[in-house]
Amino acid sequence: MKTKRLVIVRHGKSSWKEDDLDDIERPLKDRATADADLVCQAYQATATHSFTAITSPAVRAHETAKLLTNRLGMHIENLSVDENLYTFSPSTFFDFISNLPDTLDNVMLFGHNPAITDVVNQIGTSFFKNIPTTGLVEIHFRIDQWSDIDKGETQLYLFPKNLR
């Protein structure tokens, strides 16, 4: 039985300066860069594997993914965008995870709430009232196939406010 590692990251704090932008086009606030630095610095101290990173196409999620993957460097094999991660639905987010290619053992996903908080609570061993912006949660599973995903062990969570 393999260990599959899943890191789930909620996008950084988004800007509402321009009210005429579609939701998918909202950019990050400046604070998101500082939050990404805090999370990356803490995560690098524990990261032992490289991950395939996949992000929602929303500007705020994609920018967050680029910030983290650039800072994590050797721990990221590649970054791709998948339209299916632009979802707020827990069941759609869960379905995305359970349909990941089984050749991937270490995956980092960037997406949106409430999907992230609900799914992390469903599949992990820790309960979170809310995964905050730029919040990172790592969960390990003893499975060979992503379609067998059920309850994994929450290994780590990093929230910017706890790192300041």
What digits encode the pLDDT tens for the residues 109-136? 999 999 999 999 999 999 999 999 999 9
| pLDDT in 10s for each residue of the chain, 164 residues | 899 999 999 999 998 877 788 999 999 999 999 999 999 999 998 888 899 999 999 999 999 999 999 999 888 989 999 999 999 999 999 999 999 999 999 999 999 999 999 999 999 999 999 999 999 999 999 999 999 999 999 999 999 999 98
Q: How far apart are CA 130 and CA 118, in angstroms?
A: 9
Tell me which DSSP letter residue 146 carries.
G
Domain of 133 in residue numbering reads as: 3-15+22-163
| Helix, strand, or coil (residue 9) | strand
End-to-end CA distance of the chain: 38
Pairing state between β 136-142 and 3-10: antiparallel
Burial of 42 (0-12, 13-18, 19+ CB in 10 A): middle
Q: Long-range contacts of range 93-97, CB-CB < 8 Å, 24 or more positions apart?
A: 93/118, 93/119, 94/119, 94/122, 94/123, 94/149, 97/6, 97/123, 97/146, 97/149
Residue 62 near residue 55, CB atoms below 8 Å:
yes
Phi, psi of 79 (to 5 degrees): -130, 125
Q: How many domains does the chain have?
A: 1
CATH number of the domain bearing residue 44: 3.40.50.1240
